[in-house]
Amino acid sequence: MRHTHGSIEVVCGSMFSGKTDELIRRLVRATIARQKVQVFKPAIDVRYAAEKVTSHAGANFDATPVEKAGDIRKRLEAETTVVGIDEAQFMDAEVVQVAEELAGRGVRVIVAGLDTDFRGEPFGSMPELMSKAESVSKLHAICMTCGDEASRTQRLVNGRPARYDDPVVIVGASELYEARCRQHHEVPR
């Protein structure tokens, strides 16, 4: 089943907010509707399985790892009508152009990723993808300090907040990161 109009949907938020679960939910619904779905993820993300997108809760969906966003064009099958891209913040800047091209050809593009890095600053191409998307869903986690709604990702080094000048990209899960609210998010300089 082809879509009459392509679109870009962005699912964003902090770590542990359910972004990948929501991406998988949308992909499963598209599959039930007999749409041809392909999913891509950055090759750098090998936390759970190299050829699956996997949520922290354990849900998964088959995916193709790519070194750069332009590889999506090469791996895309002609009959594909829905493209999922997980961890888009790790993709190079070309991910925006690829998503725009696919949507322009009538493909539904669903992108999931962190909107901000551990410093609380815009992450990779996510801000541009959000500005070009037809819809943006910002999800929230639970602050590990106070239990309120969390919109930030706290990186920890030996149990203490990472410093502002630490590397931006370190792939990990609960051993390195936790969700925090604005009040409890710390980034020492």
| Residues taking part in catalysis | 87
Please give the helix or strand (H or E) that residue 88 lies within, else none.
none
Range list of β-strands (E), the chain: 7-13, 37-42, 52-54, 60-62, 64-66, 82-85, 108-114, 135-139, 141-142, 149-150, 152-157, 160-161, 177-180
SS3 24: helix
